[in-house]
Amino acid sequence: MKRRAIIHVTGIVQGVGFRPFVYRVAKSLSLMGYVLNLGDAGVEIVVEGTEKQIKKLINSIKNDLPSISRIDTLDSKWAPAENTFSEFVIHKSSIERNDEAIPVLPPDIAICNDCVKDLLDPQSSWYQYGFTSCAACGPRYSTITDLPYDRRNTTMIDFPLCDTCNTGYTNPLDRRYHAQTTACDTCGPRYRLVDRDENNFTDENPIVAIAKLIDDGSIAALQGIAGTHIATKTSDAGPIEILRERKKRFQRPFALMVRDFDTLKELVNINKLEERIITSWRRPIVLASKKSNSCVLPLIQESVLDVIAPGLDSIGVMLPYSPMHHLLFKYSKELALVMTSANPTGMPMYIDPKTILKELGSIADYFLLHDRRIDQRSDDSVVKLTSEDNPVFIRRARGYVPEPLVFNGPWKSLKILGVGPEEKATGALAKSGRVYMTQYIGDTNQVENIEFLTQAIDHMKHLLNISKLDGVACDLHPEFLSTELAEQITSENDIPLFRVQHHHAHLSSLIVDGLIPIDNRIVCITADGYGYGEDGTAWGGEVLVGGLKDYERKGGLIAQDYTGGDLSAIYSSRAFLGIVGDKMESEKILQILASAEVSPSQKITADMLDILVKASNRKLNTVRSTSTGRV
């Protein structure tokens, strides 16, 4: 006996080949009906057939879906068959927007193995094509301008499909069916290679050419999926030292992109969880400990690794995640490349060729640039294990954003914006029991980053169909630029502003992250660099007791006078002097601090110590705080 089932699925089911998967399974089971992308409300499947076959479809959706897909909810309603279908089809995406929907926006996805094969196959239409992708891989969030996720709502609208690509795009049995970023060298975006004077450098494949130039010791700027990297070889310390001098980045470590996982295992210590993370389709940077006596050390010498990550026993490593990366290693002799963000620390990623050429003209020798618009810039995500089974984000960006976090509670119906603190900021929007975080923004003490934050928030609001906020949350500090942004938004929209004490925010995050019941109160010991206190002083070492709604300050460290303002939060030697400067003899202090720095490139000396102690005693450029600085 035939029946009808109306199936509603939410989760990561858009832009990941989910509808073609449903189509193929339904056809194999001789079912009739359709699958429809509901825009911001998931996917609807209406199907008719025997109950046994329909249940097989549902079981396959639950257990055999594409690896990148994720089901959050699957609801099915049964009804008598209406016999209105003659086949199973994929309907055109709905453009309706539901104000209370829970959209799951697809993040950028690393190139899949099938596309890598096409990339390296001389018989393929996508041979050596630097933008190869399919329905299961490729750029997503960096290209999306609107929902539903269709080609017309991405930056790929600039590149009409050729006949070959359109054939795959319109064939439900092809893995490039409705692959919104699919293209080839005939119809899609292209790379070009230029020198510092913006002269085209080669007529051959520019990625092949830049690989050879890097092997010869050149420093290259590589425009990628969502930003720009600076790359050098690693078999010689010379180019890396030149890069450090040009960028004026003498101590901060560089990340490495390694040819393949087998090579990576010889370079760093990787456990099973780290392996799963670094080889996943998200492809983050993983901070891992260096391996000694490595068989790759003849090519990546210890002395070179010390230049890459000075004085550290760990190093950031990642695997290739774009077609361009795979082609680089195909034609380069290097086992690994330095792959560091091209932008200055704390500033937004460079995403357009003019800016790249202007800002990096004195740093890079050659520039690999493309003509695909990047709508949303995004850094590489960075993950570190704090224990064998506990990964934490150092930076949450490409590959993870804008995937939401579940945050149910009595506030589920509210739409709230959080603008973040001043350092390492991320914006966040709460809607329908989910928190959608923007990509990593950086330090919002820069006007450029406030503009970046504003644009990222506006884009997320648009995709989430949020026309009216119920409130905005910001840090309690009155002078943060992010606080000014929050004040501006609330004033213009006549909505409440919630000023949150910095360490109360930390306390609240522990409750949420620890899955502690939301009405519980906890004891929270904060050891932070700085947090503006409710009494107007600088807090940093407090014992707080409270919950999500309120807190009490029960105790903490004794407040001390620190010289140099924010420098005392960065250079622990200043914090040490603030605590013991008038209680310990100068010789003993110098012995303990040895050659510690008190400011950029300024080490402690007897004369400098005398100046700092006098400044502290006279309260010159000092800040009184319970903090002991950042460690």
pLDDT in tens, 157-169: 999 999 999 999 9
Catalytic, 98? Answer no
pLDDT-wise least confident of 47-56, 93-102, 371-380, 446-455 = 93-102
Residue 362, classed as helix, strand or coil, is coil
DSSP notation for 538-603: EEEEEEEEE-SS-EEEEEEPPPEEEETTTHHHH-HHHHHHHHHTTTS-HHHHHHHHTT-EEETTEE
What's the Cα-to-Cα distance from 309 to each of 170, 425, 438, rounded to whole Å? 48, 25, 29
* Arithmetic mean of pLDDT, 389-409: 91
Calpha distance 493→550 (Å, rounded): 26
pLDDT greater at residue 76 or residue 297: 76
pLDDT confidence of residue 438: 97
127-131, 297-301, 391-395: which range is least confident on average? Answer: 297-301
Q: What is the mean pLDDT of residues 364-374?
A: 97
pTM of the model: 0.88
- pLDDT range class, residue 563, cuts 50, 70, 90: confident
Among 4, 37, 283, 396, the one annotated catalytic? 37
Which residue from 361, 69, 420, 385 is spatially nearest to 221, judged by alpha carbons? 361
Q: Is the pLDDT of residue 298 over 70?
A: no
Task: Work out the number of other CB atoms within 10 angstroms of the CB of residue 363.
Answer: 17
Is the pLDDT at 573 greater than 90, yes or no? Answer: no
* Average pLDDT in the chain: 90
Q: Give me the catalytic one of 3, 4, 19, 152.
A: 19
The confidence score (pLDDT) of residue 308 equals 94
Collapsing DSSP states into helix, strand and coil, what is residue 111?
A: coil
Average pLDDT over residues 138-147: 93
Q: Could you tell me how far CA 242 lies from the centroid of its own chain?
A: 28
Quick one: what percent of the chain has pLDDT higher than 90? 66
Is 283 considered catalytic here? no
Beta bridge partners of 61: none
Give the burial string for 368-405 (b: 16+ CB within 10 Å, else e). Answer: bbbebbbbbbbbbbbbbbeeeeeeeeebbbbbbbbbbe
Give the Å distances, CA to CA, from 302 to 107, 291, 305, 334, 548: 36, 10, 5, 16, 48
| Confidence category of residue 95, pLDDT binned at 50, 70, 90 | low
Q: Tell me, what's the pLDDT at 560? A: 83
User: Is the pLDDT at 382 greater than 90, yes or no?
Assistant: yes
Angle at 392 between CA 566 and CA 240, to 5 degrees: 65
491 class by beta-carbon count within 10 Å (0-12 exposed, 13-18 middle, 19+ buried):
exposed
Q: Please answer whether residues 573 and 593 qualify as being in contact, where contact means their C-beta atoms are separated by less than 8 angstroms.
A: yes
At 42, the amino acid letter reads G
- C-alpha closest to that of 626 among 525, 476, 512: 525
Over the stretch 453-495, which tens digit does the pLDDT of each residue have?
A: 999 999 999 999 999 999 999 999 999 999 999 999 999 999 9
What is the pLDDT at residue 144? 95
Question: Is 70 exceeded by the pLDDT of residue 630?
Answer: no
